[in-house]
Structure 1
Amino acid sequence: MTWAVIIAVVGALAIAAGAALQERAAVSAPFGISQLRLFRHLMRSRRWVLGLGLTGLGIGAHMLALVHAPLILVQPIQTTGLLFAVMLAAFFGKRRLTSAQIGGCLAVTVGLVALITALPMHAGNPVLTPTETALMPLVCVGGMLMCVLVARFGGASTRAWTFALAGGIGFAVTSALARFIGVGMLDNPMAAMRPLTVIAVVIGLCGGMIVQNAYRTGHFTLAYATLMISDPLSAAILGVVFFGEQLPADPLHSAIAIIGAVVCAAGVITLSRATHAKGRATGGAAVDTSSPGPPPATGPQATVTAVVIDTEPAGTPVAEEDTPPRPSAAGTAA
């Protein structure tokens, strides 16, 4: 299973690199053009096309890892995409990481290493009864709808975390269904040609669009941190409840896993706050979707592009940050 973990990390790196390349190409595109002209402009950019290829490669690597390793183990690894995104943004922007960013990166790294060490790396093939096959997406969609309903009656901060929570649930169930379908394809490639595949894609896309609404509230840090924590946590719950994946059996490994999860979550929050603060200082923390621009990304790229900011050299037009409420968008299917 170690190679599956390595593949998951490589996939997260590929997604982050792809998002960074596409972000640089997108912010250099002319403003005020139609979506069709924008798409043509991006397709003429070798950098954007390369980013698209890297993103596809990363998603494929994530899917492959899901087929060969437990959901509870693979999904948290996607958090490394945040580390790679922050480091790539600093590299492309030719600047040093702040002390807060370095601390956040270290916390996420230490937390993930602790989790990987403590969690069982072996799991049987996921099996779902017909009832469970219908129940898993229904329960998750119900949770997403409940979050959206709560968001409608709350303020901006409430909308930020409830929308992000709904998106995290959506990405988690998409990954869970991808693992189930992918394992089935090992014996029968035609297993992908089933209604469940369409359901997984639709839930993932809906989750991505809901996340865009979380970013539009003007509380990016709260929304992004909620998303990065709720996605792996929801995936772990689905893995344990529906796939019978195992949690650490002894007190020592259980304590290590809990501490690792807390440290990783603290690192995510620190990175989100530090990176967003850096973007506010440089005037490039968000992408304004009130004017024509790149179509909102979904899935893993949606979570990564949000923090690949301020990568253009001085003098390049970038989207300005709005004051709340601001429309903004960002870049885990699975």
Structure 2
Amino acid sequence: MRTTLLAVLLSLASAAGYALAAVVQSRLAAVPGRARALLSRPLWWWAVGLNGAGALTHVAALHYGPLTLVQPLGALTLVAALPVGAYYERRRVTRAEWRGALWTLGGLVGLVAVVGPAAPGEALSLPEALAVVAVTAAGIAALVRRGGGGLGLATASGISSGVASALTQTVTASLARELPGGPMTWWQTALLAVLVSVFAMGGLLLSQAAFRGGLAAPLAVVNLANPAAAAAIGVALLGETFRAGPVGWLAAAAAGAVAARGVVLLTAGHPAPVPAPRAPEPDAHPVTP
């Protein structure tokens, strides 16, 4: 019980870090310019740092809780981003947005209530991890090629981050020597750590591109695709399931529908982000006395 509570608290801290990072990214995305220009902007590095903090607490949460518990709580990122984003946009959060937040929270509570944890140390084997990587890479490439605007990129971002979480669970279990088959060799663990970095950074860059269309809709899709991808891996390969058998699956489906309605309410009519302030540029033709 204590480990579950700790996993929930760490997940909430992770959601707060990701929410702050998303607000910063959405403001940067509203500023025209090339992607390489982000490297010279301090706000971008703040976003990277906040995402890093969110990732570290997320890794800690995965150590104490299963994917099917930790990942749905990540949707709270959207709820936390509401007041922060409204503050920077100098407006009030609308009643519709608060209703959406309540619907989302209700759905998340329902999902958490029926989650059944996997056995301790349960994680992907190396062949399973490499198979997931190959399938995910092909899916992300297809989404990027098809376009679909910000929502397509947001879907790819969420899937990439969800797979990074699943791989992270395997790396941490191997380092802690908690894998059922024993720890991996050093090069296998290093390979998975590199893949975690690739998918995590890919998710970050894809979300940055997706936020050009605004904050709410892309962030909502990211927060749906992320737990969906991680939960699919957890249920299909890690033996994670829901309590009460078929009734638990029905309850989870109903809770998911409630959370989805909340996301729709949060998305509808959300204004475009306010661009981050830019430093004044010097006059190209100064007037000399």
CA distances 1:44-97 after superposition (whole Å, capped 9, x unpaired): xxxx86x76554333211110112211121111111111111122345566432
CA distances 1:102-144 after superposition (whole Å, capped 9, x unpaired): 1011011111111001111454322333421321111111211
When residues 214 and 55 of structure 1 are mapped into structure 2, their CA distance, relative to the original with a 3 A threshold, is closer
Match of 2:174 among 155, 170, 184: 184
Q: Percent identity over the alignment?
A: 27
Cα deviation for residue 150 of structure 1 reads 2.7
When residues 262 and 123 of structure 1 are mapped into structure 2, their CA distance, relative to the original with a 3 A threshold, is farther
Bigger CA drift: 54-63 or 166-175? Answer: 54-63
Match of 2:95 among 89, 95, 99: 99
Which segments of 5 or more consecutive residues in structure 1 lack a partner in the other structure? 152-157, 280-284, 288-311, 319-334
CA distances 1:226-285 after superposition (whole Å, capped 9, x unpaired): 3221111111101111212123343433222111111112212221234x33x4xxxxx1
Which segments of 5 or more consecutive residues in structure 2 lack a partner in the other structure? 178-182, 280-289
Distance 1:257 1:212 in 2: 31
Tell me the residue number matched to 1:292.
none
Tell me the residue number matched to 1:203.
199
Tell me the residue number matched to 2:285.
none
When residues 286 and 272 of structure 1 are mapped into structure 2, their CA distance, relative to the original with a 3 A threshold, is farther
The answer on 1:3 being equivalent to 2:6 is yes
Is the 8 Å Cα contact of residues 228 and 268 (structure 1) preserved in structure 2?
no
Tell me the residue number matched to 2:257.
262
CA distances 1:289-334 after superposition (whole Å, capped 9, x unpaired): xxxxxxxxxxxxxxxxxxxxxxx8xxx679xxxxxxxxxxxxxxxx
Is the 8 Å Cα contact of residues 16 and 85 (structure 1) preserved in structure 2?
yes
Cα deviation for residue 23 of structure 1 reads 6.6
Say what the alpha-carbon RMSD is for the aligned residues.
3.5
Match of 1:226 among 215, 221, 237: 221
Tell me the residue number matched to 1:154.
none
Is the 8 Å Cα contact of residues 240 and 246 (structure 1) preserved in structure 2?
yes
With normalisation by structure 1, the TM-score equals 0.68
Distance 2:203 2:49 in 1: 22
Q: Secondary structure at the match of 2:242?
A: coil
Amino acid at match of 1:233: A
Match of 1:117 among 109, 113, 117: 113
Tell me the residue number matched to 1:297.
none
Cα deviation for residue 160 of structure 1 reads 3.6
Match of 2:152 among 159, 162, 165: 162
Q: Secondary structure at the match of 1:194?
A: helix
The answer on 1:12 being equivalent to 2:15 is yes
Amino acid at match of 1:66: L
Is the 8 Å Cα contact of residues 9 and 77 (structure 1) preserved in structure 2?
yes
With normalisation by structure 2, the TM-score equals 0.77
Amino acid at match of 1:2: L
Match of 1:248 among 234, 243, 247: 243
Is the 8 Å Cα contact of residues 62 and 70 (structure 2) preserved in structure 1?
yes
Q: Secondary structure at the match of 2:135?
A: helix
Distance 1:254 1:72 in 2: 12
Match of 1:108 among 94, 101, 104: 104
Distance 2:208 2:43 in 1: 21
Bigger CA drift: 89-98 or 132-141? Answer: 89-98
Amino acid at match of 2:130: A
Aligned residues between the structures: 267
Cα deviation for residue 179 of structure 1 reads 1.0
Amino acid at match of 2:104: V
CA distances 1:197-221 after superposition (whole Å, capped 9, x unpaired): 11121122223333344444x4766
Matches within 5 A, 1:1-334: 1-17=4-20, 35=37, 38-39=40-41, 54-91=50-87, 95-151=91-147, 158-187=148-177, 194-216=190-212, 218=213, 222-274=217-269, 276-277=270-271, 279=272, 285=273, 287=275
Amino acid at match of 2:113: T
Cα deviation for residue 166 of structure 1 reads 1.9
Runs of 4+ more than 6 Å apart? 23-27
